[in-house]
Amino acid sequence: MAEVVVNNLREHVETVCDFMAQAARGSDLIYRFYLDHGRDYQSVPWETWEGAFERGEPKQCYANAENLAVFHDDLTYVEGLATRLGALPIPHAWCVDSLGRVVEPTWLPDPESDSIPPVEEWEYLGVPFKTDWLANWTLDQGYYGIFGNCFTREMLDEIAKGVAT
């Protein structure tokens, strides 16, 4: 099931790129960057990490993921898109371990409501970044998150220097 869901997110991003390329020249640059440099990631239940990592603040995914990566050498910061079956993808940041499993510090299920479904129902497509490069980028820009104010090919060329292999 997870493979089908991931393929749907990748297909959605490709469709958005085609639409943006036709609607407004150049507006597809970030989505193309996701496709060219991004990877599909498998989510796992938060319980997998219980006690290993701090949960972050709601609605602060970029800060949560960066802080987690900076303080845990075994994690990599990833920024891209996330969605669950039947929903539109949204910009998001998370971490992954050395096996590529998602460590989701921001979206935590609420047992009292269905507002945030279990993390294993989410699919992720994102670009991994080197932690040292990321920390310098944040200091230089003065805010968390990489793609928020990225509108030119030149900026994306600079961002590509930070992509982790």
pLDDT, tens digit (0-9, with 9 covering 90-100), for 13-49: 888 877 766 665 556 788 889 999 999 998 888 788 8
pLDDT in tens, 136-149: 999 999 999 999 87
Contact 130, 162 (CB under 8 A): yes
Q: Which of 135, 85, 125, 136 is nearest to 102 (CA)?
A: 125
If you average pLDDT over residues 161-165, what whole number do you get? 95
Domain ranges of the chain: 2-160
What global pTM score does this model have? 0.84
Q: How many CB atoms lie within 10 A of CB 87?
A: 12
Q: What is the pLDDT of residues 46-73, one digit of tens each?
A: 788 878 888 899 899 999 999 999 999 9
With a pLDDT cut of 90, the percent of the chain lying above it is: 52
CB atoms within 10 A of CB 163: 15
- According to the model, what pLDDT value does residue 111 have? 65
